[in-house]
A and B are shown apart, each in its own frame.
Chain A
Amino acid sequence: MASLNVLIVVCLLYVALLFAVAFMAERAALMGQGGWLRSPVVYTLSLSIYCTAWTFYGAVGYAARSGLEYLTIYIGPTLVMVGWWWGLRKLVRIGRTQRITSVADLISSRYGKSNTLAVFVTALAVIGTTPYIALQLQSVTLSFASFASADPNSSVPADSRSTALWVAVGLALFTILFGTRNLDANERHHGVVMAIALEAVVKLFALLAVGVFVVWGVGGGIGETLARIDTSEIGEWQMNGGRWAGLTMLSAAAFLTLPRMFQVLVVENEDEQHLRTASWAFPTYLMLMSLFVVPIAVVGLEVLPAGSNPDQFVLTVPLSQGQDKLAMLSFLGGFSSATSMVIVAAIALSTMVSNHVVMPIWLRLAGGGAAMAGDVRHVVLVARRVSIAVILVLGYLYYRVSGGGTALAAIGLVSFAGVAQFLPALMGGIFWRGATRVGALAGLSMGFVIWCYSLLLPSFGEGILMSEALMTQGPWGIAWLRPQALFGISGMDPLVHAVLWSLLLNTSAFILGSLASFPHPLERLQGAQFVNVFDHSGNPQSWSGGIAQSEDLMIMAQRMMGAAQAQALFQAEAARQGLGGYLPEPTPEFLQRLERELSGSVGAATAHAMVSQIMGAATVSVEDLLAVADETAQMMEYSSQLEAKSAELTRTAGQLREANEKLTQLSVQKDAFLSQISHELRTPMTSIRAFSEILRDAPDLSAQELSKYASIIHDEALRLTRLLDDLLDLSVLESGQVSLNMRDGVLSGVIDHAVAAAGVEGAGLIIRRDRLRENVPLHTDLDRLAQVFINLIANAQKYCDAPVPVLSIEVSRRGDDLVVDFVDNGTGIPSQAQALVFEKFSRVSDGQAGGAGLGLAICREIMMRLGGAITYLPGQGGAAFRLSLPARVALAAQ
């Protein structure tokens, strides 16, 4: 008879083997020898976690109770693998390119990285998976119990509770050890995958062994067994078409959306090509798993006493036939099924919980400063480990609370229906660009509520969580809200009813919500990348790392920064890394530096996106990026050209405006000048004409009158001549065409000449001079200088209004300049007129003094030509003019 102690030893040895396999696989992967780990066979075997203890033991029980209906659980995944492998490929591609870590991550990532969605999906997954984990614990416990009851040496029946607890603790340890060993970005767990692959082999081998034994050892061969099947009740089960279709669809949906399935299908996938193998190998595996289910059920019903639990036939049939070793193998098969499911489910759920619940909360609490790499890594690991423990504790508690009764049997399908609610958001997300976050949230909430109300809560049994009255009459007596007859449709199978309504309303809410809302930019971007993942990403296998990435980076950088700068940057980095040429290893430091450099031309966000696109297996193709880069470069060039042109235009416009203003000013000045000249010429001519007409027309003029009028004509003619002389002189001076007659002389001599020429002697103006100081040798145009002096003396003569007019001529040295001041004792020039005295035709006094107002203008021009200056000197009592001549004029003669 089977010994419970032997079983425990075998069990522990088996667990030790799993540890060893997982450990070796991890080591091999770590040392880069993991090529055999990435075989499609391992991938296919890892998918077998779909077959849990519920399938291993339960399928027989299912068949014993409901005939061939158990097949639907296998048909769903088979249809997906065979008929929809291209959809799976898309899912896998998205998973790789977007670095998806879980089904929650995929959905949240697709809908604009919404953490609300992620939390929601995580919660739903935990709620849906916890009973399932409890189911595994129960099956292990039951199988222990079966052994215990068959063991005559064990007088005390095994305590099922402590068994479940020990199993839970053991699984938690294993999962924590191998599930949170490394924190790889891809979340791949070589050790775990290898262990579950081994378990897949064990459970298939165990089931086949039991099947062979049953058919040939008990049933008496194939023909006999078929005959037995025909006569049994199972052969007569009516197929319920609706339930078949519903269950098939449900299992297909669950195959895609179960967190553990997503983990092995997408996250742990090493190579898209593995799907090709899995698409036929996995259905084959399922077929083998289901091959002997009916014979075992039929034989079990025959050979075991009535009332035996058909869920344990796989174990109890060999036991009843005294096949202890076969029973032990069968037990290991069931144990493998249960443990592999729990391990992967715990890993998948803990990833979701830590990534979408714990980390966001921790980051918020810890603040921005805590985002140190080491810190976060540690926190993530702790969060994962605690999550795994909590998930297993939840499973254990559920098992304890639910009492391990038969209610658990239905839990598998309830779980399926729960996670199937992800399907609309998932499928819509990868095939429909119009799907939005609002739609996904609406659909998920709707599906979740209906699932809870019509399936989960009633599944605990009438009167436990939902009262009998509510079940039969609906809440508040509203019949169409009865949980299992929503909208008045009664008589349906409760499961099909719940699946139908939850998915229908889920999908409707999802579509309506998506149509009614407008996606954020990030959502639209993600949507496009998900839906068009094949357009954007090359085959990840053809993509080689290292230098090839560097080359892509360099091509991009050249277009963004210009060839020379990019080449210099890459060359410098390569040299720094001790490499020749232009292609350094794309180390994180270098990437950061490159990003900083690029952000100068495209902005930090774009630079980051571009670099990470190239480094992150390209969700946007390199060609696309280069097109963007080209565009940017062209735009930059174009805009800089425009800028240059615009600046040039502004400059030209400014010049034109200036020129125009100058011309306008000149035109105004010219008009004013002509008007002035006209006035200055016409005034003397008026006198001349008037008096000459008088002389001509009046014969009776006295000699005195004749003489007077002739003098006037004569004076005015001279005035005209003077005016013309001045005008010509000024014109020559202003045009710069004056030729200076440079000679040596002495200042005093020049002043002497000027005083004499101005005709001052005896004219009433007293001139004060200091001849000693005037003894300054000069080298300049002496005539022109004298002309200035004459003008100033004449002005004093004309305008000085003192009773005894005195003009002082003072010579001094200021720095290197020779300074000559002409100061009279009159009232001087009013301050507001001082600025104007040097302008043409400006007359300060009202009094008529005969000048045309050109004298000082000529003086200013002459002084300028001589290299000196003339200024009005205010505050001297009378009118005061200061002449200054540069030192070289004065010193040249010395």
Chain B
Amino acid sequence: MGKHVLVIEDEPNIIEAISFILMRDGWTVDTHSNGHDALDAVAARAPDLVILDVMLPGRSGYDILTDLRAAPETRDLPVLMLTARGQAKDRELAERLGASRFMTKPFSNAEVLDALRALVPS
């Protein structure tokens, strides 16, 4: 069984694309599509890695990341942040809040896989 990744993203087509790519690469993929209970989802699924969208309905990805970094269990959890708002200040904010990796949409599938492999060495 491969490493376990949780994708928190609200756009169905993007969820489908990421799931397809990761599963083909041998990852176990869970998805979650809103910000409200994203933290619960992380706690319940206990993934090896999280792919986190910034603009989520209910709660912003930045807020979720802040909470993840504040909790001892998830302080070191690798988080790859994805955002469609590709400005420099978004990247800075993400890095300051402790994102392991930050990628702007649209992304290259290969890059995402490379990044994930780098974050979670098998």
Contacts and interface: CB of A to CB of B under 8 A. Distances in A.
Partners in one complex: yes
Contacts of B21: 690, 694
A134 B89 CA distance: 112
A703 to B, nearest CB: 16
Contacts of B13: 684, 687, 691, 712, 715-716
Contact of B105 (A675, A686, A693, A847): A686
B10 interface: yes
Interface in B76-119: 84-87, 104-110
Residue picked from B10, B20, B108, most chain A C-beta under 10 Å: B20
A690 B18 contact: yes
A697 interface: yes
A712 B18 CA distance: 14
A687 B108 CA distance: 11
A678 B86 CA distance: 7
A119 B13 CA distance: 110
Interface string A677-692: 0111111111111110
Contacts of B58: 846
Nearest to B105: A686
Contacts of B24: 698
Interface in A414-440: none
A846 to B, nearest CB: 4
B109 A675 contact: no
A715 B11 CA distance: 13
Nearest to A705: B20
B88 to A, nearest CB: 12
Residue picked from B14, B34, B106, B108, most chain A C-beta under 10 Å: B106
Interface in B1-28: 10-14, 16-18, 20-21, 24
A694 B57 CA distance: 27
A739 interface: no
Contacts, number: 70
How large, as a class, is the contact surface on chain A?
20 to 34
B55 interface: yes
A287 to B, nearest CB: 113
Contacts of B86: 678, 682
A636 to B, nearest CB: 57
Contacts of B107: 686, 689-690
A848 B12 contact: yes
Nearest to A671: B87
B17 A691 contact: yes
A684 B17 CA distance: 12
B85 A694 contact: no
Contact of B14 (A680, A690, A846): A690
B57 A846 contact: yes
A330 B91 CA distance: 130
A698 B17 CA distance: 12
B33 to A, nearest CB: 8
Contacts of A681: 84
B113 to A, nearest CB: 11
Contacts of A716: 13
A344 B60 CA distance: 109
A697 to B, nearest CB: 7
Majority SS at the chain A contact face? helix
Contact of A690 (B12, B17, B104): B17
Interface residues of B, number: 26
Nearest to B90: A675
A688 B109 contact: no
Contact of A683 (B18, B84, B87, B109): B84
Contacts of B104: 682
Nearest to A680: B84
A674 to B, nearest CB: 8
Interface in A698-729: 698, 712, 715-716
A830 to B, nearest CB: 14
A868 B14 CA distance: 41
Given A679-B55, A690-B17, A848-B10, A685 B106 contact: yes
Contacts of B16: 712
B5 to A, nearest CB: 16
Given A690-B14, A694-B20, A698-B24, A679 B85 contact: yes
Nearest to B104: A682
Nearest to B34: A846
A221 B14 CA distance: 156
A770 to B, nearest CB: 37
A157 to B, nearest CB: 130
A821 B78 CA distance: 52
Given A678-B84, A697-B109, A686 B11 contact: yes
A694 B14 contact: no
Contacts of B105: 682-683, 685-686
Nearest to B15: A687
A59 B65 CA distance: 125
A687 B16 CA distance: 9
Contacts of A689: 106-108
Contacts of A715: 13
A688 B105 CA distance: 11
A688 B108 CA distance: 11
A702 to B, nearest CB: 12
Contact of B109 (A680, A684, A693, A712): A693
Nearest to B82: A686
Contacts of A847: 57
Contacts of B18: 690
B84 A690 contact: no
B94 to A, nearest CB: 14
Contacts of B20: 694
B11 A675 contact: no
B70 to A, nearest CB: 25
Contacts of B10: 848
B57 to A, nearest CB: 4
Contacts of A682: 84-86, 104-106
A687 B17 contact: yes
A686 B11 CA distance: 10
Residue picked from A687, A690, A698, A716, most chain B C-beta under 10 Å: A690
Which 3 pairs from chain A and chain B are nearest by CB?
Answer: A690-B17, A846-B57, A682-B84
Given A682-B86, A686-B84, 12 more contacts: A679-B85, A680-B84, A683-B11, A683-B84, A683-B105, A686-B17, A686-B106, A690-B14, A690-B109, A697-B110, A712-B16, A716-B13
Interface of A: 675, 678-691, 693-694, 697-698, 712, 715-716, 846-848
Interface of B: 10-14, 16-18, 20-21, 24, 34, 55, 57-58, 84-87, 104-110
10 contacts: A678-B85, A686-B84, A687-B13, A687-B14, A687-B17, A689-B108, A690-B21, A846-B57, A848-B11, A848-B57
